[in-house]
Amino acid sequence: MVTHNDHPPVIDVRPPGQPSMTGLVSGILEDVERLAEQQFALLRQEVKEEMKKAVAAGAMFVIGAVFAALAGIALMTALSLGLYAAFPTLPMWGAFGIVGLGFAIVSAALFLLGKSRAAEVHAVPPLSLQASKENLQCLTPARK
């Protein structure tokens, strides 16, 4: 039986204590994996913080709306009765209608203000999302 051993023996010419090419590549891959894990952990933390802010803003919005409704009922009643007393020829329903329309306008303005504030809350922080996209682009091979 003849064995073919055409390859010369591999001679390691590296100075003692120097890592091999496989070791270097393995170390780089471990570093990239660790960086990706840290980046996603940071993204998760920032999403949690944004969600906490959103919940707090929502709770304040609901509490404010309840108090506004109670105050609106009391003020609407007082203003309507005052308007009816000041203008005896005005029917009571007209006095309540005028005051109710005024409250409807104010509540619409407050609703729009709350909507614009809610638009400032980001579920995913833009900077972390961009950094994650860049990291993924570095990790995936370019396609032609």
Q: What pLDDT tens digit does each residue of the chain (144 aa) get?
A: 555 556 666 665 566 667 777 888 888 888 888 888 888 888 889 888 889 988 988 999 999 989 988 987 888 899 999 999 999 999 999 999 998 898 889 889 999 998 888 888 776 666 666 676 776 676 666 554
Would residue 10 count as lying in a domain? no
> How many domains does the chain fold into?
1
Would residue 8 count as lying in a domain? no
Write down the pLDDT at residue 25: 83
Would residue 131 count as lying in a domain? yes
Write down the pLDDT at residue 94: 93
Would residue 141 count as lying in a domain? no
Give the end-to-end CA distance of the chain in Å, rounded to a whole number.
Answer: 48
Counting other chains too, the contacts that 83-92 makes at CB distance below 8 Å and 24 or more residues apart are none
Full domain range(s) for residue 130? 57-135
Would residue 66 count as lying in a domain? yes
CB 31 within 8 A of CB 139: no
Would residue 5 count as lying in a domain? no
Would residue 99 count as lying in a domain? yes
Would residue 109 count as lying in a domain? yes
